[in-house]
Amino acid sequence: MVAILGGGLGGLSTAYYLLKNNVNNNNNLRLLLLEATNYCGGWIKSIRTKDYIFEQGPRTIRPKGITGLNTLNMMQDLGLSEHLAPISADHPAAKNRMIYVNQNLHVLPSNLKGVFQKNLPFSKPLIYALFNDIKQPHKELQDDSIYNFVERRFGKEIADYAIAPMICGICAGDAKEISVKFLMKTLFEWEQNHGGVVKGMMRSLFKSKSGEELQLSDLAKKSQEEKWNVYTIKGGLETFPVTLCEFLKQNEVDVNLNTRIEEIEFVDSGTVLLKNSTGETLKANHVYSSIPAYSLANLVQKQHPELSKYLNKIPFVTVGIVNLYFAADKLVSPAFGFLVPPIENSPILGVVFDSCCMPDQNGTVLTVMLGGRWFKEKFGDDATEKKLFDIAMQEIKKILNIKENPSVYNVSILNKCIPQYVIGHYERVEKIRQYIQNNNLPISLVGSSYDGVGINDVVYSAKTQIKGDCIYK
């Protein structure tokens, strides 16, 4: 029997790929999924009514790259093709992504032409950043913060106004702490191996491309033909984990809700005991952990304190989400929304204009994101939902000039919801997996703590981790 710990997207995807592997290899493996709460989907949660959808966690998925195409393959297999709502490259939500700087909203360039023009708050056309890169001397490093790297290669303005807010939007983190390898691994390698990004890019043009080939589903091909920028799911993103969970149940995966695991004991390389909160002990041959690294740290602490220590070194941040519904239509201009660079020292991270990005919304729907890396600093230890709502309203009234109050709102405080891939993260994960291998522990690590924080990364990590495990070959 194989146990899967956690029923968020990481755990569900692991069960899905194990199931597929089972069928392909004629295995008769029993799969047991263990989820602490009464819901499968983890942070993916939607509130839907006939007038609006409030996404409390993620809302858009990127279709591009191998991980994006892989998720689309899964979507088609689950019968979700007709439920997807794509945003193509020429949609206002794809073209109009803004930042709030010096009390003004500025649209970031979204095409090549824009790179040659001067766009406020940048003092020069962005193309000048490439000259900066060519001029910079070589600096040998193992890792660096993404902020330092971009400042060194392309200048301070790009680091402050493009990269720092982008990191807030992706992981609610501080670009001065997040590893450059999180988003710019190839660019960093070009700098390290060729002395600069432009130099490295020129050399790579003459090299043949290698990498995993993926068989594309019709849906994945369609996303390429129609040039999707991002997509959402009609009726809310929650449809994805809910459908995936149904698929697993129909295929005899034993899905156990309200089952919190409190301790893991490794007996030998093919036996592991999982103790749950009611004192019951479950026995498995292998366990896939998709729970956050800090939760797993607690479960292995007794038997493997060193492993626990490494796992606890992966930090997480708390995010406040304020969803707002205004009955009035078009209170904001058509755009994806805006992010606020940390240098502005605002209490909010950004605002998504959901009624522009998602279908079937009658009125104006906005989501304000707050806190992240700065949650405690801005809101203290006793942040209340009321406090977050008041701050969110005060900021959107000021920035978007909205006069009315919302007809409906929802506030969620998502405690330790996004892992931070700080400098040294990839080496730390390598060390953790090395420890597991050296000690022959029958456990594999999936989920957002290790190989990428987005939906596509989590799905793809489940696929690659099960492939790497010899017991299923």
Q: Kindly identify the residues of this chain, within the stretch 117-176, that bind ligand FAD according to CB under 6 A.
A: none
Q: Which residue lies nearer to ligand FAD by CB, 36 or 411?
A: 36
* CA gap 59, 44 in Å, rounded: 8
The burial class, CB within 10 Å (0-12 / 13-18 / 19+), for 109 is middle
Residue partners of 121: CB distance under 8 A and separation at least 6: 99, 101, 102, 104, 106, 157, 161
> Of 21-29, 58-66, 190-198, 399-407, which part binds ligand FAD (CB under 6 A)?
58-66
Q: How far is the CB of 11 from ligand FAD (least distance, A)?
A: 6
Q: How far is the CB of 10 from ligand FAD (least distance, A)?
A: 3
Q: How far is the CB of 146 from ligand FAD (least distance, A)?
A: 18
Instruction: Give me the 420-449 binding string for ligand FAD, x by CB under 6 A, dash otherwise.
Output: ---------------------------xx-
Rounded (10°) CA dihedral 286, 289, 290, 292: 180
Q: How far is the CB of 285 from ligand FAD (least distance, A)?
A: 19
Q: How far is the CB of 182 from ligand FAD (least distance, A)?
A: 13
Rounded (10°) CA dihedral 93, 94, 95, 97: 70
Q: Name the token pair of 131.
A: 């000259």
| 58 near ligand FAD (CB under 6 A) | yes
| 383 near ligand FAD (CB under 6 A) | no
| Position among 15, 33, 53, 61 found at the interface with ligand FAD (CB under 6 A) | 61
| 57 near ligand FAD (CB under 6 A) | yes
| 37 near ligand FAD (CB under 6 A) | yes
Please check whether residue 40 is in contact with residue 245, taking contact to mean a CB–CB distance below 8 angstroms: yes
| 317 near ligand FAD (CB under 6 A) | no
Q: How many residues bind ligand FAD (CB under 6 A)?
A: 36
CA distances from 439 to 303, 316, 442, 449 (A): 12, 27, 9, 21
| 466 near ligand FAD (CB under 6 A) | no
* CA gap 444, 13 in Å, rounded: 14
| 11 near ligand FAD (CB under 6 A) | yes
| 465 near ligand FAD (CB under 6 A) | no
Q: How far is the CB of 256 from ligand FAD (least distance, A)?
A: 9
| 261 near ligand FAD (CB under 6 A) | yes
Q: Kindly identify the residues of this chain, within the stretch 401-420, that bind ligand FAD according to CB under 6 A.
A: 414, 417-418
Q: Which residue lies nearer to ligand FAD by CB, 155 or 454?
A: 454
* CA gap 199, 118 in Å, rounded: 25
Kind of pairing between the strands at 254-256 and 31-34? parallel
Q: Which of 401, 457, 375 is nearest to 170 (CA)?
A: 457
* CA gap 441, 448 in Å, rounded: 21
Binding positions for ligand FAD, rule: CB under 6 A: 5-11, 34-37, 42-44, 57-61, 260-261, 290-292, 295, 319, 321, 414, 417-418, 447-448, 453-455, 458
